Structure 1
């Protein structure tokens, strides 16, 4: 059965363009379009599409407000389209907070080398999120046509939700995604392994997954943390600022020459590669343009591989939700040096590709649900 898609955008040209691309794939069908958020909410309820593509800036009701309404009334996987600007980044992160599963830039040429690659990428993203079950999230009332973004103490914009998300992206049970009481603590035991660094790689679904994990870590976390999230260059500064405002640990966009310090998470800048140089205890971050032949910038494999050279068996590496297999080869190098790799479980992933690649390669020491990862980290690191 074909994936049924509702396309939402105030531009008739863009609605037509996206519809043509989706309809080229025999496994998908655009069943209708909407020109604003209000129409999107109504058509989501009446047509029950499998996926919705959603613009952010629209008249009558904006895309962020529409996402909230849809996730509260008729939960549906949603792919956002946004501009690659600082304001576009903040709005996109608000949309992910509201319950959208993924995003793409409106200018496809910004993420693709040619027309065929752009078409394939959009089709893959729609089909990937169509496989996910999503559940209702609590409705949060905002003015029609307005965004919920509010200034944060860190200077960036954050959503009006100031606590760790009980997010629609956690799809394994309705209880977990609805914002009700967290599940009971697991009976984890410390392995006795000693660590000097933690590294986390992720892609589709990663912004909310990272927020879920990092907001539960204490300010005195004893090791530096490297974060590799597939994300455009204009998005990573806003994302780091948002996390910094929500977390007890410090979070910053990594810069060339940064000295790795305990209790600080360093987010790889979009469009470039993040490596580690030096010796444990005084290691520094190196930011490089990298090889144009590498599919991902930043690339989890590249960062993981560099940590293996410097830290050997003292790395705890975690692969979270994402499309593809980035992280598998780097995890293999870490595993070969004696470091430990964990993977997010399928039920709580938006897309199980990256963790699945690590699990199938036999590299994952543990496979964990998203809502248990922070707890497991604290047991393993601090006992």
Structure 2
């Protein structure tokens, strides 16, 4: 296989040097150039176009977001954002994801050189994941999984059990990862205010999910917010699991609520789609609809199979519309999917299923 050609665009000489050295250590990656800003980068890229761009946000002459939008409009190319992000900056990161970035790697303000050395495996994994993505499938407008930590199942958070008795209220559980910020926006913006209660796990780091939910809330008819422990799941409301914590669906009488808890990563993620889906299988059963969308790896595949086996109706995004056909592919392989649909058909399918049940 040919090496992945990478262009680094960062105004810090230290970052360019360390990133170049780090990525070049992997035989599957070749750094073909580094530039102090997007203007220089564009000149270099005329001679040889990269497979992946590693991009800072704050740079002279042209900022990274503007450059990203230009690239995605003219010649879509996988982009990994590598930037120092503060509370304010996390909104910038969401803009980058919305504009087409595959993932975001957060740089600290201090100890930068040591951080880049310590996180070399994560950076390499992010570049390789980006190279496998199909950015042309992004809808116009997560840290990389650990290779060292043990891969725990949902048993670490919630033991498997039988589904509770059926009620009349339906809940939709959605799980997604790479490419999911755009996919979720597409689905949620298409839903009317009168929609079933929805619970979502999107693989994102801490401090990102609150800003992400706030952004979606301003774009959608449904209410979207970052979940808090004990929040009620109700029609017209979408609850997004906070980064760094698991979210479980529970029953309180005839109502659904969410538990937001700490715990070890499951399927190498926290929040984990497998945890949410298992809880939906156990506490909603036939009352649930499960949707698994674009993402790398297999988080959610087993949980969706459990939902399917408990009587829930399950949907997977099709390969043609996925940025990364990983999670849906694994769910299909396990036999846990009732329907495979393109992204644009998922909102109508959810609403159609709910109307048939009512």
TM-score, length-scaled by structure 2? 0.85
The 3-state SS of whatever aligns with 1:373 is helix
User: In 2 relative to 1, CA 135–322 (structure 1 residues): closer, same or farther, beyond 3 Å?
Assistant: closer
Shift of 1:376: 2.1
Shift of 1:117: 8.0
Is 2:89 the partner of 1:85? no
Shift of 1:374: 1.5
Q: Distance in 1 between matches of 2:334 and 2:207?
A: 33
User: In 2 relative to 1, CA 257–53 (structure 1 residues): closer, same or farther, beyond 3 Å?
Assistant: same
**Structure 2 residue aligned with 1:259:** 232
Q: Is the 8 A contact 2:137 2:321 kept in 1?
A: no
Aligned residues: 326
User: In 2 relative to 1, CA 234–83 (structure 1 residues): closer, same or farther, beyond 3 Å?
Assistant: farther
For the aligned residues, what is the CA RMSD? 2.5
Q: Is the 8 A contact 1:41 1:66 kept in 2?
A: no
Q: Distance in 1 between matches of 2:345 and 2:249?
A: 28
The 3-state SS of whatever aligns with 1:278 is strand
Q: Is the 8 A contact 1:234 1:270 kept in 2?
A: yes
Shift of 1:121: 2.5
Q: Distance in 1 between matches of 2:9 and 2:172?
A: 40
Q: Distance in 2 between matches of 1:31 and 1:63?
A: 19
User: In 2 relative to 1, CA 308–109 (structure 1 residues): closer, same or farther, beyond 3 Å?
Assistant: farther
Residue-by-residue CA offset, 1:54-100 (whole Å, 9 max, x unaligned): 11111111100111122222321111123343222110111122222
Shift of 1:209: 0.7
**Structure 2 residue aligned with 1:18:** 19
Q: Show the 5 A alignment for 1:130-141.
A: 130-135=131-136
Residue-by-residue CA offset, 1:296-318 (whole Å, 9 max, x unaligned): 11111111111111111211111
**Structure 2 residue aligned with 1:68:** 69
Residue-by-residue CA offset, 1:190-212 (whole Å, 9 max, x unaligned): xxxx8711010011111111001
User: More displaced, 269-278 or 286-295?
Assistant: 286-295
Unaligned runs of 5+ residues in structure 1 are 138-164, 168-193
Q: Distance in 1 between matches of 2:202 and 2:266?
A: 18
Please, which of 191, 215, 220 is the counterpart of residue 217 of structure 1?
A: 191
Q: Is the 8 A contact 2:134 2:324 kept in 1?
A: no
User: In 2 relative to 1, CA 2–103 (structure 1 residues): closer, same or farther, beyond 3 Å?
Assistant: same
Shift of 1:24: 1.8
